[in-house]
Amino acid sequence: MKETNSVKLEFLSRSVNEGFARASVAVFAAQLDPTLDELNDIKTAVSEAVTNCIVHAYPDSVGKIFVRARVFPDNSVEITVRDKGLGIPDIERAREPMFTTGGDERSGMGFTIMESFMDRVKIRSAPGRGTTVTMRRTVSVRITRK
């Protein structure tokens, strides 16, 4: 299915940019007229994906994060968050709740949260080459009154 609209963002892996990504994707997804709960779910998933890049992909350096958001005729939004950082050696282990490589201050719930708020989450990664997380959510179609 071909997208009806898309946007690309590129920014540095600084924690201050997490809010930028979250807000930018939310504004873009608003064209689907999501409920506030749906929009908050999308924002939370984006926040988790971007935070993973900041904390895990570039733990000792600053790198680039790439975000692409696309909307489709079936009222869905697909968000891809990509980095060129360390990569994930064991994706299945990384998806386990409470597993983290980020130290005691990290909860290890990032992928679990993304999976609970989005309809689909796909993770591709290669050690030393980076990670791509693709998330999709269908937004309910609301009946407008005239």
Note the pLDDT tens digit of each residue in 3-49.
999 999 999 999 999 999 999 999 999 999 999 999 999 999 999 99
Tally the domains of the chain. Answer: 1
pTM confidence score? 0.88
At 99-127, the pLDDT tens digits run: 555 555 555 567 888 899 999 999 999 99
Marked catalytic residue, from 17, 38, 52, 70: 52
Is residue 145 a part of any domain in this protein?
A: no
In a domain, 115, yes or no: yes
Quote the pLDDT of residue 96: 66
The reply to whether 106 belongs to the active site is yes
Q: Sign of dihedral through CA atoms 20, 134, 91, 129?
A: negative
**DSSP letter, residue 53:** I
Structural domain includes residue 146? no
Decide: 128 and 86 in contact? Cβ < 8 Å: yes
CB 88 within 8 A of CB 127: yes
Asked if 18 is an active-site residue, the reply is: no
Token pair of 19, please? 């809010």
CATH number of the domain within which 118 lies:
3.30.565.10
The separation between the first and the last C-alpha atoms of the chain, rounded to the nearest angstrom, is 30
